[in-house]
């Protein structure tokens, strides 16, 4: 989140029975408040994830308070 640049936004990742829940709160303190999560299925230090057994990767996104939500994949 923007907290690495002195902002006040917070991010929490909560595992659940159905997957992983990402909860964020944008707070004042940075010119452009932001929060995010980086899901790395592979990087240069590890082999790629074998997703052959997966049926799907489902992403559900919702914002509260009528604020816009940007999703970058």
Per-residue pLDDT reduced to its tens digit, 18-37: 777 888 888 877 777 878 77
pLDDT score recorded for residue 67: 75
pLDDT score recorded for residue 65: 76
**Residue with structure tokens 């909860």?**
23
62, 69 in Cβ contact below 8 A?
yes
- The model's pTM is 0.53
Helix, strand, coil share (%) of the chain residues, nearest 5: 5, 20, 75
Q: Is 8 exposed, middle or buried (0-12, 13-18, 19+ CB in 10 A)?
A: middle
Residues 27-69 pLDDT 10s: 877 777 878 777 777 767 777 778 888 888 888 887 777 777 7
Token representation of residue 11: 């991010």
pLDDT score recorded for residue 22: 82
Q: List the one residue out of 26, 14, 29 whose CA is nearest residue 66.
A: 26
């Amino acid at each position: 989140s923007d907290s690495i640049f002195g902002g006040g936004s917070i991010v929490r990742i909560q595992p659940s029975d159905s997957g992983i829940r990402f909860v964020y709160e944008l707070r004042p303190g940075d010119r452009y408040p932001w929060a995010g999560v980086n899901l790395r299925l592979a990087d240069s230090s590890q082999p790629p994830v074998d997703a052959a057994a997966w049926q799907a990767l489902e992403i559900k996104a919702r914002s509260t308070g009528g604020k816009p939500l940007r999703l970058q994949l």
